[in-house]
Amino acid sequence: MDQAEPVIERGATTRLLGTWTLSRHRQLKRLLTQTPVPEGEVQLRHIGALDTAGAALLARWLGLERLEAIINAETGLQPERRALLETLLRAMGREPAPAAKKPAALLQALALLGEQSEYLARHFWQLSGFVGLVLQTLAVVLPRPSRWRLTALVNQIHQTGLNAVPIVALLTFLVGAVVAFLGATVLGEFGAEIYTVNLVAYSFLREFGVILASIMLAGRTASAFTAQIGSMNANEELDALRTLGLSPIELLVVPRVLALLVTLPLLTFVAMISGLVGGAVVSVVSLDIALSQYLSIVADVPLKHYLVGMVKAPVFAFVIAVIGCMEGFKVSGSAESVGRHTTSSVVQSIFMVILLDAVAALFFMELGW
């Protein structure tokens, strides 16, 4: 008989012989299926070779408790074989971890609130740090004309400002017409259609002009900034700039921030004029208000309302540019990350614009403006 063949010698003491390894797995299964489990003593010390596969079959044949008792009782078992069998017993006898108890709905809501609060606090902390870095770079670059990158600045002004004029003008023209229709509908019930002109003038000079232009730039320009810088970050171009000793903030962020500081006030002015033109078209066509009368009423609006709208434009421009650039630096090396941070920059920019506008409205109301 082949000495390597697995054998079970039955008697007063059952002895296991031969090779109990993966190479004999089929023979072992057939042998153990045909052999009943012995009642008396079982000796494992005579096994010629044993691996995990053979030990697992042995454990299933004898049972975990019986095999453990045999290991403890047999003093002549080799130490390495004893260690193998004990490790297998622990692995096969390990019970699945109990399922985590589902927290109550209130605790889940509180946990979610805490996570979101932590995320917002961390995000505003990062935004504050990035704003400080941009302001520091501006303080270093602006007093030194030799470090100005006029080509990049003009290119960004062209892309963010000139190319955005048609869509901003069209949007605000239509909104101006809608506001005029709404004012005529409501005020007409009181015979005060003439005050529709005041409604359009005040709303566009103070709020709608700068808000609509800012939202358009947040969706159009902040997303472009994030995608451009994010693609460079994913392609390791920013690391190459740092290796060359160049500052990505100075090369990429400063021209974009300065471009928006120039273009958003101009686009705000375009939005104001387009909104007033939209209101004028509705007033002349539908309300029988003469154009000269419309212009005279608009001219009587105090200058402070125009200044309230214009003074918010640079603040909104800075916030939009900084958020768009910061999200670009957060992009990792995947297209999914570019899309996620691009969406995040648009949402954050619009949210911050509306939040700052609400704060400004309360501030100017307290000043009596």
Residue ranges of the domains in the chain? 7-93, 122-367
Asked if the model's pLDDT at residue 99 lies above 70, the reply is no
- Mean pLDDT in the chain? 85
Residue 147 confidence class, pLDDT cut points 50, 70, 90: confident
Whether the CA torsion 199, 201, 203, 209 is positive or negative: it is positive
Cβ-based neighbours of 313, under 8 Å, separated by 6 or more: 210, 213, 214, 264, 265, 268
pLDDT at residue 1 greater than cutoff 50? no
Phi, psi for 15 (deg, rounded to 5) = -115, 140
Asked if residues 278 and 174 have their Cβ atoms less than 8 Å apart, the reply is: yes
* pLDDT value of position 103: 65
> Is the distance from CB of 325 to CB of 232 less than 8 angstroms?
no
What is the predicted pLDDT for the residue at 335?
A: 78
Give the integer Cα–Cα distance in Å for 276 and 173: 7
The span from the CA of 54 to the CA of 88, in Å, is 11
Above 90 in pLDDT, residue 169? yes
pLDDT value for 2: 47
CA–CA distance, 325 with 342 (Å, rounded to integer): 10
Q: What's the mean pLDDT in 24-43?
A: 81
* Beta-strand relationship, 7-9 and 13-20: antiparallel
User: Is pLDDT of 3 > 60?
Assistant: no
Share of the chain above pLDDT 70, in %: 96
- Compute the average pLDDT of residues 122-135: 88
The confidence band for 311, taking pLDDT boundaries of 50, 70 and 90, is very high
The predicted pLDDT at position 101 comes to: 60
Predicted confidence at residue 267, as pLDDT, reads 94
C-alpha angle 23/28/32, rounded to 5°? 170
List the CATH code of the domain at 7-93: 3.30.750
pLDDT of residue 124: 86
Which comes out higher in pLDDT, residue 201 or 32? 201
Higher-pLDDT residue of 236, 358: 358
Q: How much of the chain, in percent, has pLDDT values that exceed 90? A: 24
Contact in structure between 265 and 310 (CB atoms under 8 Å): yes
Summarised one tens digit per residue, pLDDT across range 274-300 is: 999 999 998 888 888 888 888 898 888
Residue 65 belongs to what H/E stretch? Answer: helix 64-73
pLDDT bin (cut points 50, 70, 90) of residue 44 is confident
Which pLDDT belongs to residue 258?
A: 92
Number of neighbours of residue 59 by Cβ within 10 angstroms: 19
Neighbours of 116 (CB within 10 A): 10
Contact 21, 51 (CB under 8 A): yes
SS3 for 298-359 is HHCCCHHHHHHHHHHHHHHHHHHHHHHHHHHHCCCCCHHHHHHHHHHHHHHHHHHHHHHHHH
Beta strands in 21-150 (DSSP E): 41-43, 47-50
What is the pLDDT averaged over residues 3-22? 79
pLDDT higher than threshold 60 for residue 100: no
pTM above 0.85, yes or no: no
